[in-house]
Amino acid sequence: MSKVRVARRRVVSRLLTFRLAAALLRNQAGRKASGVLLSDFDYHLPAELIAQEPLPDRAASRMLVLHRKSATWQDRAFRDLPSYLRPGDCLVLNDSRVFPSRLYGRREHGTGRVEVLLTRPISADGLTWEALVHPGRKMRTGELIIFSDELSAEILGRCQFGERTVRLRPRGSLFEILDRIGHVPLPPYIRRPDTEADRSRYQTVFARERGSVAAPTAGLHFTPEILDACRAAGAKIAWVTLHVGLGTFQPLRAEKIEEARLHTESFTMPPETAAAIQAASRVVAVGTASVRAIESEPRKGETSLFIYPGYQFRRTGALLTNFHLPRSSLLVLVCAFAGRELTLAAYRHAVEQRYRFFSYGDCALVL
């Protein structure tokens, strides 16, 4: 056999070995991605770091700035946000408005208190809703809950994850009644009753479209002055509307991340926002809800998009977000964008530096 043929066989053999090794690496990477567990997104948080009240000044929050390329972070203030913006940026905010969706009532034939959190309307007339009911196990289909002389609700059935379908019976305009007797839907980690002040503070200054049962909390830090400073820095302001519901705050039930599913949430993206995003050199999303709206197909009008590590971001170039609960879909999304190791290391730093966490807490800017 000639030396040339021997050399060719060696080259072919090495090429096949290289391809086999590459295939094995791809398979191992695939197994690693599919084996991501919810427990990989846990961290220790002392209870005293969970903010129970908003700061007197909305814009006085601290801001932890994460730099993905250098895997570093800086302790800054939220008022510094405009200095990180530049001409060509599009700052996308969620203008959904929170309504008083938590109701307290009693069973028609009993005295025990019943709590109902309306989460999503599912009928054309806006009177049939998905809801969280407590104590849910005691409430049977057909039972009536009395909230006031103006409002009652009938339990129609049970949904997939334990929610209930309820039919509201208002005597007058439903939302006018809710404004009178409903409560601000503060999350359960805020361990106090809602107050009149929460009606304005658990709401962004730019909230317009009613429909959320939890605040898009990254937007809570903004004041009209900060928005003007963002525009002065050259950023264009654009709006999406995603009504925050169970898809945002319901706990993940699957231990394997790729098996988790989110509830559907409705959203709209105006044509002018889509055009601004398309023309931008960088899209800066304010909040995880804005990210999910930006990354979803606008024509569908609703999304159950679950973003976890391995997701390829198509539009989002930077993210402003609050600090999120361990093992939550929101923390998983941030890890998908910033990297799990960097995110969790930054969270440990935030704990050490006594940042304030969750809805009324501080924020992070991921660049």
Could you tell me the CATH number of the domain that includes residue 334?
3.40.1780.10
Q: Tokens at residue 316, please? A: 């989002």
4 or 58: which leads in pLDDT: 58
Q: Is 80 exceeded by the pLDDT of residue 34?
A: no
Distance CA 342, CA 319 (A): 14
Same domain, 304 and 353: yes
Note whether 135 and 162 are same-domain residues: yes
**Residues 163, 203 share a domain:** no
Q: Which amino acid is present at 28?
A: Q
Tell me, yes or no, whether 281 lies in a domain: yes
Nearest to 144 by CA among 121, 169, 124, 122: 169
In one-letter notation, the amino acid at residue 184 is V
**Measured between alpha carbons, how far is 305 from 291 in angstroms, rounded to an integer?**
10
Confidence of residue 15 (pLDDT cuts 50, 70, 90): very low
CATH of the domain at 170: 2.40.10.240
Please check whether residue 8 lies inside any domain of the structure: no
* Closest-CA residue to 80 (of 204, 229, 224, 282): 229
Supply the range of the domain harboring residue 165: 102-181
Residue 236 domain-assigned (yes or no): yes
* Same domain flag for 88 and 220: yes
Nearest CA among 114, 96, 93, 97 for reference residue 105 = 114
Residue 121's φ and ψ, nearest 5 degrees, are: -75, 140
Asked if residue 300 and residue 214 are part of one domain, the reply reads: yes
248: phi then psi, degrees, rounded to nearest 5: -95, -45
Distance CA 119, CA 77 (A): 33
For residues 58 and 220, is the Cβ–Cβ distance under 8 A? yes
Mean per-residue pLDDT, 14-34: 37
Report the C-alpha gap between 167 and 340 in whole angstroms: 42
158 & 251 share domain: no
Given 146, 181, 216, the domain boundary residue is: 181
Q: Closest Cα partner for 62 from 359, 367, 350, 352? A: 350
What's the confidence (pLDDT) of residue 14?
42
Of 328, 261, 317, give the one whose Cα is nearest residue 291: 317
Of residues 29 and 159, more confidence is placed in 159
Residue 9 has pLDDT above 50, yes or no: no
Which residues make Cβ contacts (< 8 Å) with residue 310, sequence separation at least 6? 33, 36, 336
Asked if the structure places residue 20 within a domain, the reply is no
Tell which residue, 177, 213, 209, has the closest CA to residue 194.
213
234 and 92, same domain (yes or no):
yes
Residues 294 and 315 in one domain: yes
The predicted-structure confidence for 208-266, as pLDDT tens digits, reads as follows 999 999 999 999 999 999 999 999 999 999 999 999 987 677 788 889 999 988 888 99
Decide which of 126, 153, 181 is a domain's last residue: 181
Residues written for the chain: 367
Residue ranges of alpha helices (H) inside the chain are: 3-34, 174-181, 198-201, 224-232, 246-249, 271-279, 288-295, 329-338, 340-352
187 within some domain: no
Q: Number of folded domains in the chain?
A: 2
Write the Ramachandran bin of 254: left for phi over 0, alpha for psi from -120 to 50, otherwise beta: beta
Is 59 among the domain residues?
yes
What is d(CA 315, CA 70) in angstroms, rounded to the nearest whole number? 21
Which of 211, 366, 346, 341 is CA-nearest to residue 291?
Answer: 366
Residue 30 has pLDDT above 60, yes or no: no
Quote the tokens at residue 168.
């509201």
Residue keyed to tokens 């590459």: 22
- The pLDDT-based confidence of 139 (bands split at 50, 70, 90) is confident
Asked if residue 331 is part of any domain, the answer here is yes
Is residue 212 within 8 A of residue 266, CB to CB? The reply is: no
Residue 45 sits at φ, ψ, to 5 deg, of -130, 115
* Segment among 1-10, 58-67, 203-212, 316-325 with least mean pLDDT: 1-10
Domain stop point among 152, 181, 210: 181
Whether 68 is covered by a domain: the verdict is: yes
Strand segments (E) across 125-198: 128-134, 144-146, 151-158, 164-170
What confidence category does residue 4 fall into, taking pLDDT thresholds of 50, 70 and 90?
A: very low
Residues 113 and 215 in one domain: no
> Are residues 357 and 265 both part of a single domain?
yes
Residues 56 and 106 in one domain: no
Quick one: pLDDT at residue 160?
Answer: 67
2 CA to centre of own chain:
67
Assess whether 299 and 286 both reside in one domain.
yes
